[in-house]
Structure 1
Amino acid sequence: YINFYYDKYRNVFYRFVTPGIEVDKSDNIRDLIEYKPVFSIMILDADLQVIGEELMPRDKYNSSMAFVGKEGLYISTNHIRNPDFSADYLRFELFKLEKKQD
């Protein structure tokens, strides 16, 4: 597990999870640790029971930079392999918790 956030506005927890990945000899291990290529977000209720999980797109979000606000969960798009990456700006995308439609 990477990070754990409490959302007081929706009374849920967000747990960032890193699945196993294959590492090539040419990969920069430091970059893989700091900028995880893939991760998912588990949503847990007030009793810490998993109520959902979402796999995030590869190389788009920086799992180390996130926070909870009134509107929802903000996750940074400042991932070094994101085509829109800029070291000059901190960019965040808002995620709103919604029930999945069956």
Structure 2
Amino acid sequence: MDIEQNEYSLSTSDYNRIIYDSYRNVYYRIAYLRPSIDMLRLGQRTIDFSISILDENFIKIGERKFDGKIYRSSMILVGSLGLNIARIDLYNDDQDLLSYDIFKLEPLSMNQN
């Protein structure tokens, strides 16, 4: 693979997927937040991610960033109590145990900027 193309791929943020939450009637859009090209060249490879909350018209009503060293963006499940996101840090400590944190992501207040 071309070095320039590889660096571009590893340093350019992109969207991963959209998940529908039937309990709350919202959508979650997962975005990979990749390191800058300078940080990549310094060895930073961790990919953080954000979850945007979208209403039924796909209008963004909230967002939260997650640390890629703690959470795994590919292991997200919608549940009745909230959004379950796998804890990769705990899994690395004990691969016989799969741990999740449950998040109740809330839309932004109309008064917030």
1:59 aligned residue: 69
**Structure with greater helix share of residues:** 2
Separation of aligned partners in 2, 1:69 and 1:53: 18
- TM norm structure 1: 0.75
Quick one: structure 1 residues 19 and 26, their matched pair in 2 at CA, closer, same or farther if it must change by over 3 Å?
closer
Quick one: structure 1 residues 64 and 25, their matched pair in 2 at CA, closer, same or farther if it must change by over 3 Å?
same
**Structure with greater strand share of residues:** 2
Answer yes or no: is the 8 Å Cα contact 2:18–2:28 preserved in 1. Answer: yes
Answer yes or no: is the 8 Å Cα contact 1:3–1:64 preserved in 2. Answer: no
Answer yes or no: is the 8 Å Cα contact 1:43–1:53 preserved in 2. Answer: yes
> Matched residue pairs, number?
91
- TM norm structure 2: 0.69
What is the deviation of 1:100?
4.8
Gaps of 5+ in 2: 1-14
Separation of aligned partners in 2, 1:68 and 1:53: 16
Deviations 1:53-91 (A, max 9, x none): 11113411000001101111000002xxx2x33221111
1:76 aligned residue: 86
The structure number with the bigger radius of gyration is 2
2:100 aligned residue: 92
Which stretches of structure 1, 4 residues or more, deviate above 2 A after TM superposition? 24-27, 97-102
The question of 1:24 aligning with 2:75 is answered no
Separation of aligned partners in 2, 1:99 and 1:64: 23
Code of the aligned partner of 1:17 = A
The question of 1:6 aligning with 2:10 is answered no
Gaps of 5+ in 1: none
